[in-house]
Amino acid sequence: MSRRGLVSLTTRREVRRRGGDLARAATQRLEATHDWYATLTAQERSWVGLVAQAGIANFIQWLDGKESADTRTTFGAAPRELTRTISLAQTLELARSVVDVVEEHVDELARPGDVTDLRLAVLRYSREIAFGAAQVYAHAAEQRGAWDARLESLVIDAVMRGEVDESIRTRAAALGWGEVTDIVVLVGGSPSGSDEEDPAAAVAAVHSTARRHDLPVLTGVQGARLVAVVGQCEDAASTAQLFADCFGDGDLVHGPLVGDLAEGALSAHAAVAGHVAAPGWPDRPRPVAADDLLAERAIAGDDLAQAQLVELVQTPLEEHPSLLETARTHLESPGLEATARTLIVHVNTVRYRLGRITDVIGYDLGDPHEAFTVRVALTLGAILEDPSKSLG
């Protein structure tokens, strides 16, 4: 049986006549019973009032059995921004208040024979309006998710290109990155590199990991690479380890820790260059720091890595001529004794100087990869010292 057949025309007319009173009563109920209502701005309260009035008007249409009546239109009375202002739970409280007001006035609205039928109608409407609210919020979340994904991709691109200006900061703030500091960029293979995989799944995995560890993240798939910009990091290496399973097989490189998003390009450049050059170190770990790939990056043509190597190795050793001479000699010698003979010093002196070299530049010439890094640095330094060899 239709709603029109259950509730008499007389009762429906009375409900329609009292619609304005019911809407005002619903608004007053909100003010009196819900603390969150008091925290809203005047404009936001006016939006909520529109929803309450629409709820009563829609109930009247629904009760009349009009084909055009749709409980979702109750929430269409207010701007979409309302879904960002109040939660779904609060919206359901709002709908419940509207329904409660009608239910409390059933005895006044219905003629004696319609009281039970009107109560049943109110109960049924309360279920439908709750479902309508859920649909509205689900649709808003879907639209917001698509918009946020586009916005996130835009910010990621700007960070990778080193073009973080005020407009990008504003967009990042819309994603919750207004005050985020201590940032590291991770670059690795995307698990969505094959046709069978969905890039959205890779992005979702990064976001899920970030939520689990309470870390802000921006992420996106760029070709065969997956990029993640992670904030509030205490340590770059441990952060990269947290996200390692989100990336595809192969190298995972993290840039250095930087202060904020504006400096993110420094970490991004290092991470991308490191990802390109990583195959040059056969025994590289996973994840690996871009700064541990300075020699490989320099050979691959990374100008910043070349300058950084000279600054870290050549420049400090130039302040200690004996250490610079020992480093160069040892790198060309088959062992400590050979180095000592070439320098005409005791082997213990060589050991002492090698220890001092480690203290000064942070690289241990006894480690094959670190010795290789120092060799590349000193080679670059020697080339740069002789302007007559310039290709220009």
Which CATH number do you get for residue 272? 3.30.70.2730
The backbone torsions φ and ψ at residue 182, rounded to the nearest 5 degrees and listed phi first, read 50, 75
Residue 124 domain-assigned?
yes
Final residue of a structural domain among 141, 169, 200: 141
- Cis peptide leading into residue 334 (ω within 30°): no
Residue 260 domain-assigned?
yes
Average pLDDT per 10 consecutive residues for the chain, totaling 392 residues = 58 78 78 78 77 72 59 51 63 71 77 76 68 55 54 80 77 78 93 58 87 90 89 94 93 94 90 95 96 96 94 94 95 93 94 96 95 96 71 48
Structural domain span for residue 322 = 303-385
The residue among 84, 47, 114 whose CA lies nearest residue 174 is 84
Q: Are residues 49 and 130 in the same domain?
A: yes
Residues 339 and 330: beta-carbon distance below 8 Å: yes
Amino acid 68: pLDDT: 42
Q: Are residues 371 and 269 in the same domain?
A: no
CA distance to 47, 60, 102, 220, 282, per residue, from 206 (Å) = 36, 48, 47, 9, 27
Q: Are residues 313 and 254 in the same domain?
A: no
Amino acid 4: pLDDT: 40
Amino acid 200: pLDDT: 76
CA distance to 25, 46, 274, 311, per residue, from 43 (Å) = 19, 5, 51, 58
State the amino acid at position 248 in one-letter form. G
- Other C-beta atoms lying within 10 Å of the C-beta of residue 181: 15
Residue 42 domain-assigned?
yes
Residue 172 domain-assigned?
no
Residues 389 and 383: beta-carbon distance below 8 Å: yes
d(CA 380, CA 66): 82
User: Angle formed by the axes of helices 115-161 and 264-277, to 10°?
Assistant: 70
Amino acid 39: pLDDT: 80
Residue 170 domain-assigned?
no
Pairing state between β 252-254 and 288-289: parallel
Q: Are residues 277 and 312 in the same domain?
A: no
Q: Are residues 280 and 321 in the same domain?
A: no
The residue among 250, 252, 218, 225 whose CA lies nearest residue 236 is 252
Residue 148 domain-assigned?
no
pTM of the model: 0.62
Residues 296 and 309: beta-carbon distance below 8 Å: no
State the amino acid at position 258 in one-letter form. V
Amino acid 67: pLDDT: 44
CA distance to 84, 173, 178, 348, per residue, from 167 (Å) = 22, 10, 12, 60
CATH number at residue 359: 1.10.10.2840
Q: Are residues 117 and 186 in the same domain?
A: no
Residues 236 and 252: beta-carbon distance below 8 Å: no
Final residue of a structural domain among 255, 290, 325: 290
Residue 92 domain-assigned?
yes
CA distance to 153, 217, 238, 283, 362, per residue, from 180 (Å) = 18, 10, 18, 34, 31
Q: Are residues 120 and 211 in the same domain?
A: no
Question: How many domains would you assign to the chain?
Answer: 3
User: Token digits for 66?
Assistant: 């009009």
Amino acid 293: pLDDT: 97
Amino acid 194: pLDDT: 43
Q: Are residues 320 and 374 in the same domain?
A: yes
Q: Please name the residues in contact with 336: beta carbons below 8 A apart, sequence gap of 6 or more.
A: 330, 347, 350, 351
The residue among 380, 207, 216, 232 whose CA lies nearest residue 306 is 380
d(CA 173, CA 275): 29
Residue 104 domain-assigned?
yes
H-run or E-run covering 96: helix 88-104
Q: Are residues 132 and 20 in the same domain?
A: yes
Number of H helices, E strands in the chain: 20, 5
Quote the DSSP letter at residue 366.
Answer: T
d(CA 237, CA 286): 10
